[in-house]
Amino acid sequence: MYDSLTHHAYFSLGSPTDVVPALVAHIEKVWGIHVQGNPDFRCERYGAMGVYEARALKESAERTAVTGGRKVFVVALDSMTREAQNALLKIVEEPPKETHFFFVFGSEEVLLPTLRSRLEPLFITIRSSAEEKTSRSVLARSFVRSSVPARLKMVSALIKEVGDEDVGKGKLLDFFDALERELAPSVEKNAEALLELLTLKQYSRDRAPSFKLLLEHLALVLPVVK
């Protein structure tokens, strides 16, 4: 991982759930900026980026920074069409002043040589994701066994920890998965709860979900597991 970020466009490889939080923390540390509530910081997650999304990203990058400082775009994706990559070539090569792009891919094979040549590799040190997942499992176990008031307190603490922004989305999705694992052993008994959880997991993958509202709803409707 670089201690200084002097280039204007980077790419990292790995799982977005692991890489994005570590990448954002590094950006905050190196540049001394705060991403939460920052109108000039965007973190986007795509299964597949098409030319429409690429053009929207380009247009956002061309706008003047609201804060008058850096504009930062973190974009995590599984794949990107040829048309999308071609649409980004010029803005990535010659972005507006103080505009920076960080792309996170599962594999370098996604990249066309033309776009790859314009991006610097950035190696991200991942803190123990196993420990974080264990922590989510412990929290999920406590969540399903607690009263509604206690659950609502857990929701507040969890949102405060990871935020209700895209940056913390991976960790919150991990928590949903952990809840599902807690309920799954008694499928017949918890059938309605599992269906409700599955529905909310689908909502959570919308472009701008409110995890606070989703989690508070779960706190109210999930049965108490003894």
- 163-199 confidence digits (pLDDT tens): 645 555 677 777 888 888 887 777 667 788 888 888 8
CA distance 3 to 211: 32
pLDDT at 130: 53
Residue tagged 């405060």 (tokens)? 160
For domain 9-121, is the CATH number 3.60.21.10?
no
pLDDT digits (tens, 9 = 90+) for 135-150: 677 788 888 888 888 8
Which residue type sits at 19? Answer: V
CA distance 72 to 60: 10
Domain ranges of the chain: 9-121, 129-221
Nearest to 70 by CA among 151, 18, 8: 8
Give mean pLDDT in consecutive 10-residue pieces for the chain, a chain of 226 residues. 76 84 87 86 90 94 89 93 95 93 89 92 67 70 86 83 60 80 74 82 72 86 78
Q: Which residues lie closer than 8 Å to 157 by C-beta, 6 or more apart?
A: none
